[in-house]
Amino acid sequence: MSAGDFSHWGLAIFPLCLAAVLAIGWSARRRWTSANDYLNASRSISTWAAALGFLAYNCGSIEVVGMSAMAAQYGVQALHFYWVGGIPGMVFLGLVVLPVYMRTGARSLPEYLGLRFGPAVRLLNACISMIGTVCFAGVALYTLAQVLHVILGWPFLAGGLVCAAVVLAYVLAGGVRASIFTSVFQLFVMVAGLTPLLFFTVRFNAASWAQRADRWHLWKPLPLLAPHAPLDRAGVLLGLGFVISFSYWCTDFVMIQRALTARTVEGARKVPLLAGFGKMGIAFLVVLPGVAAPSLLGNGVSFDQTMPALMALEFGPALLALGTAALLAGLMAWLAGNVSGFSALWAEEIYRCRLRPGRTEQHYIRAGQIAVPVCLLLAQGAALATFRFHDMMEFLQLIVALFYAPVFAAVLAGIVSQRSAGRGAFTGICAGVDAALALQCACWMGLARFGSQMTADFYEAMLSFTVALMVCVLLRERRADSDAPARAVLFDPALCKSLRPTRTLVLLSSALLGLCLLLNVLWW
């Protein structure tokens, strides 16, 4: 394949995709009546659109590139991040957590925590979430630059700036609605671009099965408890399957924001369940080509370059242009989701609540728009930090272990115990972050050793969650305050009644968990 052939197809496909993204973003623009319409779009979108936006954000190209890198490194054990690390947490979100959030009328997780624990915890969670969105946006910029460098030969900085400019344009125009609807379009482009690669790599996977059978089992190669191994069952089941999974799905600002865009409580509860079926299917499109990568690419390619390098090797000019557009589209969806999340956090949780209360809605919309380029600028620094890790997924899981796990511990303690207080939640979250950060620093200094950074991430998540939960439970009120607004978010009889799932929710949850269990047994 010549560079001229690719340029010809690239000039035909890339502008069409970018034009479609900008057109969808502009069409989502409306006369905003409140800052919430622009920044959160709460209860304004159909269930199917919300579910597709939820799936598109989670399974964007950041996950495609990251999970193909994991598959090249660990084999089909990368499927753990889709099945054990995805499905149980999504079911828990739909059946338990979302109705608790929506019962309070909260439009975001920080607002819910403010109702339950007070303004200090709300502010703390907003700051933590802003750090998370900046880091996630930085990883997206890093990956965009990697794709453009491998396939087109663009310099790292130039690739990141071009894609950031496109995201800046449509997020400023349409807010969170634009990021949701463009991400749905980008999801379909991504699936179309990845499907041919699955078929092209089948023959190499057949040869790999005979040569390296250990790379084709989910559980057999893993020791039960061995922190010095690259992966172990305790880390996968507890660190990934419980702490990281439940923490991410139940406390990530952008994921909760996407689910709360559904118009009804029933619709919001269906969002993660419907998205779960799509997530299991996309897993095969991403992981199986990655397993074939070592046989096809050799050792000259970094893990994070696995997917674009496979495309450059296997695709002709037309498919390569489509596949590149698919990766760029999905990455921009992830980037836009985190940028719009940062914008909402700044405008609603910091600027409105703390700095400039009582201003007009248009004033807060402008504050959110100003935050968009600030987030993209800060994300450039996070993109450079990603180079310190073997692959981007190590960095992403570290962010969840540091910042999301202790917040989930506070949420869990606040739901099940009326005596859990704001002081305990604030102190517990800070203690959990400090404990995980101390262990990670010990790893960097060589004082603590793990078989891989990923295993370290899993154990840091368990430590962070455990410390935060213990502090939340120990530092509690001596007696329950019957007049506290927190009573609205406790497991009282009214809440238990509202949590009772409908027949549709039971069927969706049972099918999703049953299919996940079956796949784990078949790939044991």
State mean pLDDT over 450-472: 92
- What span, in angstroms and rounded, lies between the C-alpha atoms of 168 and 187? 19
pLDDT at 480: 47
Question: CB neighbours of 45 closer than 8 A, spacing ≥ 6?
Answer: 53, 177, 180, 261, 262, 263
Axis-axis angle for helices 317-344, 119-152 (nearest 10): 160
- What span, in angstroms and rounded, lies between the C-alpha atoms of 376 and 371? 9
pLDDT at 367: 84
- What span, in angstroms and rounded, lies between the C-alpha atoms of 389 and 59? 21
pLDDT at 73 over 90: no
pLDDT at 300: 64
**169-224 residue pLDDT tens:** 656 555 556 667 667 777 777 787 778 888 777 666 555 555 566 677 778 888 88
- What span, in angstroms and rounded, lies between the C-alpha atoms of 227 and 245? 19
Backbone angles phi, psi at 217, to 5 degrees: -125, 140
pLDDT at 2: 43
State mean pLDDT over 355-384: 82
Which three-class secondary structure state does DSSP give residue 45?
strand
pLDDT at 415: 79
Structure-block tokens of residue 229 = 């191994």
- Count of all residues that appear for the chain in the document: 524
Half-sphere exposure of 334 (CA within 13 A, CB side): 29
Cβ–Cβ < 8 Å for 225, 232: yes
Highest mean pLDDT among 24-38, 300-314, 364-378: 364-378
pLDDT at 509 over 60: yes
pLDDT at 482: 42
Structure-block tokens of residue 504 = 């549709």
Residue 487 vs residue 439, higher pLDDT: 439
Burial class, 154, CB count within 10 angstroms (exposed 0-12 / middle 13-18 / buried 19+): middle
Question: What does the domain layout of the chain look like in residue ranges?
Answer: 3-222+232-522
Measured CA to CA in angstroms, residue 459 lies from 199, 250, 328, 437 at distances of 37, 19, 33, 12
Structure-block tokens of residue 261 = 């865009």
Structure-block tokens of residue 187 = 């999801």
pLDDT at 314: 76
Question: CB neighbours of 192 closer than 8 A, spacing ≥ 6?
Answer: 322, 326
DSSP label of 186: H
pLDDT at 366 over 70: yes
Cβ–Cβ < 8 Å for 197, 203: no
Which three-class secondary structure state does DSSP give residue 28?
coil
State mean pLDDT over 294-306: 72
Q: What is the pTM of this model?
A: 0.81
Which three-class secondary structure state does DSSP give residue 391?
coil
pLDDT at 179: 63
- Which stretch of 70-79, 131-140, 206-215, 267-276 has the lowest confidence by average pLDDT? 206-215
Measured CA to CA in angstroms, residue 335 lies from 21, 75, 120, 167, 425 at distances of 13, 27, 29, 7, 30
Residue 84 vs residue 152, higher pLDDT: 84
Highest mean pLDDT among 57-61, 100-104, 362-366, 509-513: 509-513
Residue 209 vs residue 427, higher pLDDT: 427
**226-272 residue pLDDT tens:** 888 888 888 888 988 899 989 888 887 778 877 887 878 888 889 89
E strand spans, 275-326: none
Q: Spell out a b/e string for 285-304, using b for 16 or more CB atoms within 10 Å of the CB, else e.
A: bbbbbbbbbbebbeeebebb
Structure-block tokens of residue 344 = 């909402």
Cβ–Cβ < 8 Å for 268, 260: yes
pLDDT at 465: 95
State mean pLDDT over 338-365: 83
Chain CA centroid to CA 432, Å: 21
Which amino acid would we find at residue 183? S
Residue written as token pair 């009644």: 497
Cβ–Cβ < 8 Å for 438, 464: no
Q: Which long-range contacts (CB under 8 A, 24 or more apart) does 33-38 make?
A: 33/361, 34/361, 35/347, 35/348, 35/352, 35/361, 35/364, 35/365, 35/368, 36/107, 36/348, 37/175, 38/175, 38/176, 38/365, 38/368
CATH tag, 3-222+232-522: 1.20.1730.10
State mean pLDDT over 480-506: 62
